[in-house]
Amino acid sequence: MVWGTIIAAYLFLAGLSAGAFLTSSYAARKYPDAVAVRFVGRLISPILMGIGLLLLIVDAEAGLKDPLRFIYLFTNFNSVMTIGTYFISFFMMAAAYMALMELLKKDTNKIIEYIGMVFAVATAIYTGFLIGVIGAVPLWNTAILPILFVVSAFSTGIAGTMLVASFIDKKVIHHVMSIKKIHFTLLISEVFLIFTMFLITSSTNESAAQSVSMLLTGEYSAVFWIGLIAIGLMLPIIIEGLELFNFKNLNTSQAGLEVAAGGSNRITATLITESAVLAGGFILRYLLLAAAVPVIFL
C-alpha cells in the first residue's frame, strides 16, 4: 500500500467537508425553512476538515520533527500539494467563518460564502489531483479520478449533512427532495465513473491491469463488491430511488417545501442510506490506495 489508511481518511474527510459546505449553501437558497440542514452543513464542514488536517499532520511524521517542512508546502509553487494547501486554507477560513456566524445566529457575508463555495469545489478536485499526478501509479494517473472524487465528495457531503440533520429534525429530511434527487444522480454517476475508470486504466499497462484485477477478482474483491458496490452504492441507490418514486406519486406542498409522506420507516431508511454512502465513500478511497501497483522502472 503506497499510502496508508490515514491518508484515505484524510481524503475522505476533506471531500466530505467540501460536500457538506456546498450542501448547506444549496439548502440555504433552495429551502430557507430547512434550518437543520443549513446549520449542520455549515457546522460540520470546518470540524471535519480540521480532523482531516490533524490526521495528515500525524501521518507526516518527519514534519512533526521538522516543522519547517510544513512551511515549504506554502512556498513550493511547482507542487500540486502547495496549490492544494492554499485551496484548503482559503476554504477552511471561509467554512470556519460560516460556522461561527451560524452559531452566533448572525447574517453571513455573501461574498465570503461564495468564496467558500469556490474553494470547496477546488478542495474536492484537489483530493483527486493529489494522487492523480503520481504517474508511477497508473490506477491513479487518469483524468477520471478527480471527477470521481468530486462526485463522491458531493455525495458524501449530502449524506453526512442529512444524517446529522435527521437527529435534529426528523421531518426536514423529507422536505428537501431536490437534494435527494441530486444525491441519487451522484450515486449513479459514481458507479458509472468507477467502472469507466477501470475499463480505461486496465488497458494501459500491466501494473494498471493488476490493480484493477486486485479490486474486481483478487485480494480486495470482497470489500469492493460487498462494501463499496453493494452496500456503499447500490443499497442507497435502491432506497433513494424508491423514495423518489413514492414522492412523485404522493407529494404535497407545505410552507414552500417539498413534502413526501414520512414515518418511522422512512427515518430508518434515511439513516441506513446515508450511513451506507459514508461507508462507501471511505472504502472507495481506501481501495484506490490499497490496490495501487506502481510501475517498476528497470
pLDDT tens by residue, 98-152: 999 999 999 999 999 999 999 999 999 998 888 877 767 888 888 899 999 999 9
pLDDT tens by residue, 58-73: 765 544 555 556 666 6
Does any domain span residue 64? yes
Does any domain span residue 297? no
The predicted pLDDT at position 269 comes to: 85
Number of domains in the chain: 1
Does any domain span residue 229? yes
Does any domain span residue 201? yes
Residue 109 grid cell? 457575508
How far, in Å, CA of 89 to CA of 227, rounded? 33
- The residue assigned the cell 481506501 is 286
How far, in Å, CA of 159 to CA of 279, rounded? 10
**Residue 247: what residue type?**
F
Does any domain span residue 105? yes
pTM for this entry: 0.89
Question: What is the residue range of 237's domain?
Answer: 5-290
**Residue 153: what residue type?**
A
Query: Residue 72 maps to which CATH number?
Result: 1.20.1630.10
Q: Return mean pLDDT, the chain.
A: 86
Nearest to 283 by CA among 243, 224, 206: 224
Does any domain span residue 51? yes
